[in-house]
Chain A
Amino acid sequence: MVKIYSRRQEMEQALEAELDLVAQTVTFQSNTYDVNELRFAVPKIGTVYGTALNYEGELANLGEKVNEAPYKNPPKAPVLYIKPRNTFCAHKADIPFPEDSDYLQAGAALGIVLKKQATRVPIDHAADYIAGFTIVNDVSIPHESMHRPAIKQKARDGFCPIGPWVVDASDVDRADDLNIHVYINDERRQSNSTKNLIRDIHTLLADVTDYMTLYEGDVLLVGTPENPPLFQAGDTVRIDIEGIGSLENKAVAKSTKGVNV
């Protein structure tokens, strides 16, 4: 059993609960439910910051390009971006599939949820600032160039599914060694692990808060692994992170008949 924080769609109040990952049950105030019986809202969060190029394989894929134009040098500081509030999407909610793209890519990210204001956090104190961990699908329209901020590719409505819950940090033993799997329509399409991060979780938190304050509830994504799987309208995307849970969403195109199918 692990302690989680979650919000049900029926209730604004975030509740502490006990999650049994093996039995797939959640116990709220001594009532036990099958996780599939519950409808989860987006957890109570602040600003969501993503980190790019923080998996060894992702940087390796760029290869020599990091020394060529337009990049000219390998990245020094964490490569960050913001997933704005219009992108937030609950577990099991539909991801609106845009009309101007044939494919989307799934960005399977472990999200660090901040416990309190974090400014210039020393690495050896980073753990004190982490409330817990959640799962984020950093959805993007595939794009090759990382030269300019990818707002049009990353900031569409519903492009940031988050949840279903936040697992308390004290129940996550080794956040820097968690297996991540992505399934499209139940077929496994990607496997990786947070042990392949370039900056581990504490280093990332220290380097980011060196110049940028994170607040209680802000979410810092540790990165997305190389070769993200693509999906199309009608597909169901599921991200499993070991010890955290499963985040599942379906991509739904706008129907010309005004009815979502």
Chain B
Amino acid sequence: MKRARVAIDGAIHEAVEVEGKLKLEDGRIFTEDHVTWLPPVEPGTVFVLGLNYADHAKELSFNAPKEPLVFLKGPNTFLGHNGSSVRPEEATNMHYECELAVVIGKQAKNVKKEDAYDYVAGYTVANDYAIRDYLENYYRPNLKVKNRDTLTPIGPWLVDKEDIKDPMNLKLKTSVNGKVTQQGHTSDMVFSIPYLIEYLSSFMTLNPNDIILTGTPEGLEKVNAGDEVITEIEGIGQLRNYIISDKELVT
């Protein structure tokens, strides 16, 4: 099953996918373009992996880390499918990052790798934009780069775990204005999903709706106001996002 959260006629609804359309709990059916897409779950604690694809680490001139490089995101940064992300006009280097997002389904503490998938509710797609102009070397990647308002689109669907045979064997792809710019494969992760669940739950409790963004492969390109960016993961979905300039926010 694919699940979504959408706004329709002034109310927020949970919906499921039926033949490419959205079916609400009350039975009404809408096409994709008749709804406002929200993040498919209300994010709890959100973990993000840095340098979790060896090729991407190399692209940024780093060796792959020996221990997961994890940072956190706040609720301000998330945005639904078809949303607009705000790019500061002054920035010179903003890039997308297509990532498989793992949504936790039940409380997890001291979980072993072998049991890790028991704690997963499902998967979605995230675009973990970064603005490298603001990088500093304290708690890097710092929040000014990674936790800006609107810069983490997520969705469109939460796909039930049962529908994805092997999340460690999926193609990832990003297109900017229709041109493919990033391609990768989840099998190239440095730290796998079961490893990450074991690692995080070894020192803290994970809760339902916590999300792990598992990092991005190589193929970063700069994006600009006016661009349409689609991040896509095989079997999970296509997440569309538009970039607008912060100049457009000034009335």
- A binding-site residues for B, Cβ under 8 Å: 46-47, 49, 52-53, 70-73, 75-77, 79-82, 84-87, 98, 100, 119, 146-152, 155-157, 211-215
Given contacts A77-B134, A86-B204, contact A148 B74 (CB under 8 A): no
B137, A73: Cβ atoms closer than 8 Å: yes
Contact residues in B for A148 (Cβ distance below 8 Å): 69, 139-140
B72, A82: Cβ atoms closer than 8 Å: yes
Contact residues in A for B235 (Cβ distance below 8 Å): none
Within 8 A of A (CB), among B137-177: 137-144, 147-149
B139, A81: Cβ atoms closer than 8 Å: yes
Given contacts A49-B74, A84-B45, contact A152 B142 (CB under 8 A): no
Measured CB to CB, the nearest residue on chain B to A119 is B149
Given contacts A98-B203, A149-B71, A156-B203, contact A212 B143 (CB under 8 A): yes
Contact residues in A for B109 (Cβ distance below 8 Å): 157
Please measure, in the bound complex, the distance between the C-alpha atom of A52 and the C-alpha atom of B44, giving whole angstroms: 23
Given contacts A47-B75, A49-B74, A98-B203, contact A212 B149 (CB under 8 A): yes
CB distance from B226 to the nearest CB of A (A): 21
B148, A149: Cβ atoms closer than 8 Å: no
A77, B140: Cβ atoms closer than 8 Å: no
Contact residues in A for B70 (Cβ distance below 8 Å): 149, 151-152
Q: Which 8 A-B pairs have the closest CB atoms?
A: A84-B45, A82-B72, A213-B76, A149-B71, A79-B138, A80-B143, A86-B205, A71-B137
Given contacts A47-B75, A82-B74, A214-B76, contact A70 B207 (CB under 8 A): no
Contact residues in B for A155 (Cβ distance below 8 Å): 72, 203-204
Given contacts A151-B47, A151-B70, A212-B144, 8 further A-B contacts (CB under 8 A): A49-B143, A73-B136, A76-B136, A84-B204, A86-B207, A146-B139, A149-B71, A156-B203
Contact residues in B for A157 (Cβ distance below 8 Å): 109, 204-205
Please measure, in the bound complex, the distance between the C-alpha atom of A243 and the C-alpha atom of B214, giving whole angstroms: 44
Given contacts A71-B137, A119-B149, A146-B138, contact A212 B74 (CB under 8 A): yes
Contact residues in A for B44 (Cβ distance below 8 Å): 85
18 A-B pairs with C-beta separation under 8 A? A46-B75, A70-B137, A77-B144, A80-B142, A80-B144, A81-B72, A81-B143, A85-B44, A86-B206, A87-B204, A119-B149, A146-B139, A150-B139, A151-B47, A155-B203, A211-B149, A212-B149, A213-B76
Contact residues in B for A150 (Cβ distance below 8 Å): 139
Interface size on B, residues (CB 8 A): 31
B204, A156: Cβ atoms closer than 8 Å: yes
Q: Is the interface of B mostly helix, strand, loop or mixed?
A: loop
A211, B138: Cβ atoms closer than 8 Å: no
B147, A77: Cβ atoms closer than 8 Å: no
CB distance from B132 to the nearest CB of A (A): 14
Please measure, in the bound complex, the distance between the C-alpha atom of A146 and the C-alpha atom of B140, giving whole angstroms: 8
Select which of B71, B72, B139 is within 8 A of A52 by beta carbon. B139
Select which of B77, B139, B207 is within 8 A of A149 by beta carbon. B139
A212, B147: Cβ atoms closer than 8 Å: yes
Contact residues in B for A98 (Cβ distance below 8 Å): 203
Contact residues in B for A156 (Cβ distance below 8 Å): 203-204
Please measure, in the bound complex, the distance between the C-alpha atom of A70 and the C-alpha atom of B140, giving whole angstroms: 10
A147, B138: Cβ atoms closer than 8 Å: yes
1/0 per residue, CB under 8 A from A, across B36-71: the answer is: 000000001101000000000000000000000111
Please measure, in the bound complex, the distance between the C-alpha atom of A47 and the C-alpha atom of B137, giving whole angstroms: 23
Please measure, in the bound complex, the distance between the C-alpha atom of A73 and the C-alpha atom of B134, giving whole angstroms: 13
Measured CB to CB, the nearest residue on chain B to A150 is B139
Measured CB to CB, the nearest residue on chain A to B138 is A79
Contact residues in A for B69 (Cβ distance below 8 Å): 148-149
